[in-house]
Structure formats: structure tokens, C-alpha cells
Amino acid sequence: MHWIDPESLPVVKGTLERFVLNPHGEVDGFVMRAADKDVLVHTPPHMETDLTRHIKPGDAVGVHGVKPRGAELIAAVAVTANGRQILDHGPDHDREHPKHDRHKMEAEGTVRLSLFGPKGELRGALLADGTVVRIGPKEATDVADLLAPDAKLAVRGDGIETRFGRVIHAREAGQSLKTLAPLKRGKPGPKHEHGPKHKHGHKPKPKHDHDHADA
């Protein structure tokens, strides 16, 4: 989004409350309080260093960004705080994900905010205790009711602890830890080409593995 002039966009002002993490433990946004309302702001991970170096919880911030349709989210193009403007200059293709120790984790609580990707795709939830829950967009649509504000949510999966909080990449989800169910992942596998639907003398065409590779 670096091609957009941030000054051409409206600015939303508030107070930064906490950073939000992606499944790799990187900061990819924050929650700010604006006019007695929680506002979710998405920032690309390559902005993490500048954001966390120059802004901390409690600071006043201004966000120039765009709002996707159907999602309570601002996708930031620029963030201003403490007399400094931090711009999205586009992705750093040489940047690698940080290396964090991953542990089996679980969490249970009330959803404070739904979490979205920059285009408005549902990607998880922020619990009232500050735990960030991340779920792939395909799986998230299957459990959208559990990710809505004020819903009861329990998850189990792979977790990371950082100085900005903890994030769990959920493998199971439910309304409580006693009712967890595995999240469906990826495309269904190829159906077996056996059975009465195939007439004798007609062999099914061979299928190649790459035809069914996940996107």
C-alpha cells in the first residue's frame, strides 16, 4: 500500500493500548482507544521495528488508512506518534520471520475483538485477557460465531510468548476446553475413483499430486 499518499486519507486519532501479533510472533497491528471505542489497526510486519521502537502503549497516535468492506478494521498506510510519521514503504522481501520457541498452549475466555487481515478477511480473535488467537481465513469462516465480540472461545494449538504478549495458532476451537473440535484445514483430498460409478473397460484418467496442492 506504499503507493498511496497517506495525506489523501482520513486520519483516526486515539491512544495505543496494545500491539497485536501474527502467528509468527510478529507485530502486525495494534488496538487503540478512539472516542471510547476499540479500534483495530492492521500494520504489515515489516513496520514492526519502527513501530515498536518509537511507539509504546499509552502514546497518542494518528492513523492514515483505509477500511475494508464488512470488517471493523483500519489498514494503516501511515502511523503518526511522538512527532514522527511511520510509513508503509512496501514489503522487505529479504526479511525473515523471527525465531521463537513454540509451545503447546490453550486459552479460554471471552472475545474482545475479532481480528482481520488487511483486506478484511477474518483471521482470529483477541481475548479479554490479551491472548491473540490466530486461525487461517478458510478455517475462520467455519467458526465465525466463536470469533465474534462477546463470544465464549476456547482454543488449543501452537503458542509463542513475546514481550508484547502471547499468540496461539489454533488447531482446535470450541466454546470451552471441554468442547474443543479440530479445525478443518486445507482442501479436501481427491475422492477415490472406485465403485459402481465407473463402468468396466473405462479407466479413470490418472491424476497428478500437484493438481490437488493446497493454495
> Residue 211, Cα to own-chain centre: how many angstroms?
28
Q: What does the DSSP 8-state code read for residue 8? A: G
Q: 134-153: per-residue pLDDT in tens?
A: 999 999 999 999 999 999 99
The predicted structure's pLDDT at residue 89: 79
Contact 56, 16 (CB under 8 A): yes
Per-residue pLDDT at 96:
74
Q: Which residue has the higher pLDDT, 37 or 195?
A: 37
pLDDT digits (tens, 9 = 90+) for 178-204: 999 999 875 544 444 444 444 444 444
Q: pLDDT digit string (tens) for 7-33? A: 889 999 999 999 999 999 999 999 999
pLDDT at site 73: 96
Q: Are 2 and 90 in contact (CB under 8 A)?
A: yes
Q: What is the pLDDT of residue 18?
A: 97
The β-bridge relationship of strands 103-116 and 165-174 is unpaired
Q: What is the pLDDT of residue 199?
A: 44
Same CATH topology for 6-87 and 103-182: the answer is yes
Domains of the chain by residue range: 6-87, 103-182
Q: What is the CATH number of domain 103-182?
A: 2.40.50.140
pTM for this one?
A: 0.81
* Cα 103 from Cα 166, distance rounded (Å): 11
The CATH number of the structural domain formed by 6-87 is 2.40.50.1010
